Chains A and B, each alone.
Chain A
Amino acid sequence: MEPPLTGKQRSLAEAIAENLHDGDSVALGLALESGIPFAAVHEIIRQRRKDLTLIGPISDMAFDQLIAAGTVAKVIAAWVGNVAGGSGYGFRRAYEQGQPRRIVMEDHSNFTVGLALKAAAMGLPYLPTFTGLGGDIVRGHPRIRPIDDPFGGPSLLAVGALKPDVAIVHVQRADASGNAHLWGNLGLTVEAAYAARRTIVVCEEIVPDDVIRSDPNRTMIPGFLVTAVVEEPGGALPSSVQGYWRRDFETFLSYHNLSKTADGYQLWLKEWVLDLPDRPAYLRHMGDAALARLRVSDRRLAAAANFAP
């Protein structure tokens, strides 16, 4: 028997069960191609959530997997596909044919997703921008409207705030209170964690809080914003985590090829999600050779920063 987890620490299954409910909006895949919380994506599918709204910039194949599993009613995103191959076939089947169910798409550019989350993170109803003028994304958009500049400049667009029910982020390390160190590209991770009603931090390792306090500039998410902390090493694979995991390109490609048909997707779903209880089982199913190829063992340490008073 595993020891009981206390405070904010949860298993991934507990964190999803407690925080993500049918009909919720959930932001994930926020760093763009790296740090995508795939373990959480698969757990959401295993727990058979339904009518979710997905929020994110580009999502890579995480959104495709959730959509093809029938968990999603609406997508608010700038790009839904598979960076390895282009098309997301699950997304296409849902959008074009309503299979396995119809989805509503709120199209954005990366910047308008970013501004919508930033507005919510700042407690504002909207943020103004010049992006998108002259294009079709902003035309008749439910969350983007033309406004005048109160200071007399050219007119521009207002991007309405977007406050996710839940944000799920994958970081390198966090303490038991959820104070999270993240390095490398940030994408919209910080905005989403600040904006969301509930934030789940999934980390490669839980560290003592003095590790976090030794470098407060690296704390991208303060723990008081965090609802649950999950230690799940390898939880972002096949996406990369700087200093921990390389990108597993072949897995993106094989999913791309297999998911071209609904039957192929079902094969993938059974083998890699439904027949496995959790992420440790997923890693065992990948095999030691694959894990050894993807695990980062080199050290490229940052220079120390002196915080002495």
Chain B
Amino acid sequence: MIATYTRKELMVVAAAREIRDGEVVFVGMRLPLLGFGLAKATHAPSAVGLFENGVIRDRPAEAFIYTMGDPPNIVGAIACLGLNDVMGLLQQGRVDVGFIGGAEVDPHGNLNTTRTSGSGSLVRLPGSGGGGDIASLAGRTVLIMEHEPRRFRERVDYITSPGHFPGRRRGGPATLITTLGVFDLSRGQVRAVSLHPGVTAAQVREATGFPIAVDDAVPPTTAPSTDELGYIRRADPDGFWTGDKRKGE
């Protein structure tokens, strides 16, 4: 039997697989909240999660959470500290991997979440949050993006979360997970590692506003296992994060 799953479920699984056992993870908002829990429940039981509101957890949250500050993410935490405490650990180099999202990305992995005039008129976006800090200070970063031409730009209007640049102290974007595939960013250019089942190289080229290394020999993204899907559906029973439609839109 072939399990059916949504694109978002596949992205959560891809995010979880970026976490290695024993790593310290700076967990971001939205899909990584689930990805961290999934990694903990499957291949990375010793991973530790830091949340920018000051929470440190070594277990997934006990119930569904919309945000890192929701009460189920506090119950059973190993510590509840302040923002500067966990950001200090990040700055010290204690964090192996951090997750960030953005509205726009360029080939160097620079993310824009501040403002854009890409569609003609000025659009103000919410801003950095902790994204700029994770991008600057984590051992490596995993970017999560909607894959659309207006979001994949040769140059972003504003660098909120710096990608690769000369003189970088550590880290930088390692992997980009999109609605179309998984891409390697570690060498300062975007190279396809896997495409989600059913996605073609031509589709990816069309959806990317800059030249991208992709061809039809790129393997498909490994489908979620039954265990992985089981965890996701227990943690997100109504499909809020991973259903076909996002309720928040």
Partner-B contacts on A (CB < 8 A): 31-34, 57-58, 77-81, 83-88, 91-92, 95-96, 107-111, 114-115, 118, 129-137, 154, 183-191, 239-240, 242-243, 246-247, 249, 253, 256, 296, 300
Central interface residue in A32, A95, A111, A129, by most chain B CB within 10 Å: A111
Closest chain-A Cβ to B191's Cβ sits at a distance in Å of 22
**Hey, which chain A residues are within 8 Å of B127, CB to CB?**
77-81, 107-108
- Interface residue B139 (Cβ < 8 Å from any Cβ of A): no
**Do the beta carbons of A131 and B133 come within 8 Å of each other?**
yes
**Do the beta carbons of A136 and B160 come within 8 Å of each other?**
yes
How far, in angstroms, from A83 to B114 measured CA to CA in the complex? 15
**Do the beta carbons of B123 and A33 come within 8 Å of each other?**
no
**Do the beta carbons of B126 and A110 come within 8 Å of each other?**
no
**Hey, which chain B residues are within 8 Å of A136, CB to CB?**
114, 158-160
**Do the beta carbons of B248 and A184 come within 8 Å of each other?**
no
**Do the beta carbons of B159 and A135 come within 8 Å of each other?**
yes
**Do the beta carbons of A132 and B136 come within 8 Å of each other?**
yes
Q: Of residues 25 to 46 in B, which have CB atoms within 8 Å of A's CB atoms?
A: 29
Contact of A33 among B53, B137, B248 (CB under 8 A): B53
Instruction: List 25 contacting pairs A-B, 8 Å CB cutoff, sorted by A.
Output: A33-B67, A34-B53, A58-B129, A79-B126, A83-B66, A85-B248, A86-B126, A95-B124, A107-B114, A109-B128, A110-B129, A129-B91, A131-B132, A132-B136, A133-B169, A134-B159, A136-B114, A137-B132, A154-B169, A184-B80, A185-B53, A185-B68, A186-B53, A242-B74, A249-B66
**Do the beta carbons of A135 and B83 come within 8 Å of each other?**
no
- Chain A residue at minimum C-beta to C-beta distance from B246: A85
Interface pairs A-B: 10 shortest CB-CB: A81-B126, A33-B69, A134-B162, A109-B132, A34-B69, A185-B53, A79-B129, A135-B162, A33-B67, A32-B53
- Interface residue B130 (Cβ < 8 Å from any Cβ of A): yes
**Hey, which chain A residues are within 8 Å of B83, CB to CB?**
32, 57, 110-111, 114, 186-188
Given contacts A33-B67, A185-B51, contact A130 B169 (CB under 8 A): yes
How far, in angstroms, from A187 to B68 measured CA to CA in the complex? 11
How far, in angstroms, from A190 to B84 measured CA to CA in the complex? 10
How far, in angstroms, from A33 to B129 measured CA to CA in the complex? 12
How far, in angstroms, from A108 to B162 measured CA to CA in the complex? 14
Closest chain-A Cβ to B113's Cβ sits at a distance in Å of 8
Question: What 1/0 mask marks residues of chain B from 155 to 197 whose CB sits below 8 Å from any chain A CB?
Answer: 0001111100101110000000000000000000000000000
Contact of A135 among B51, B71, B91, B160 (CB under 8 A): B160
Closest chain-A Cβ to B145's Cβ sits at a distance in Å of 14
Given contacts A109-B128, A130-B136, A134-B168, contact A83 B53 (CB under 8 A): no
**Do the beta carbons of A191 and B84 come within 8 Å of each other?**
yes
**Do the beta carbons of A118 and B74 come within 8 Å of each other?**
no
**Do the beta carbons of B124 and A31 come within 8 Å of each other?**
no
Closest chain-B Cβ to A278's Cβ sits at a distance in Å of 25
- Interface residue B81 (Cβ < 8 Å from any Cβ of A): yes
- Interface residue B19 (Cβ < 8 Å from any Cβ of A): no
**Do the beta carbons of A132 and B132 come within 8 Å of each other?**
yes
**Hey, which chain A residues are within 8 Å of B67, CB to CB?**
32-33, 83, 247
**Hey, which chain A residues are within 8 Å of B169, CB to CB?**
130, 133, 154
- Chain B residue at minimum C-beta to C-beta distance from A247: B70
Closest chain-A Cβ to B193's Cβ sits at a distance in Å of 25
Question: What 1/0 mask marks residues of chain B from 37 to 79 whose CB sits below 8 Å from any chain A CB?
Answer: 0000000000000011111000000000011111100110000
**Do the beta carbons of B137 and A118 come within 8 Å of each other?**
no
Q: Of residues 83 to 110 in B, which have CB atoms within 8 Å of A's CB atoms?
A: 83-84, 87, 90-91, 110
- Chain A residue at minimum C-beta to C-beta distance from B76: A300
**Do the beta carbons of B123 and A92 come within 8 Å of each other?**
yes
**Hey, which chain A residues are within 8 Å of B66, CB to CB?**
83-84, 247, 249
Closest chain-A Cβ to B127's Cβ sits at a distance in Å of 4
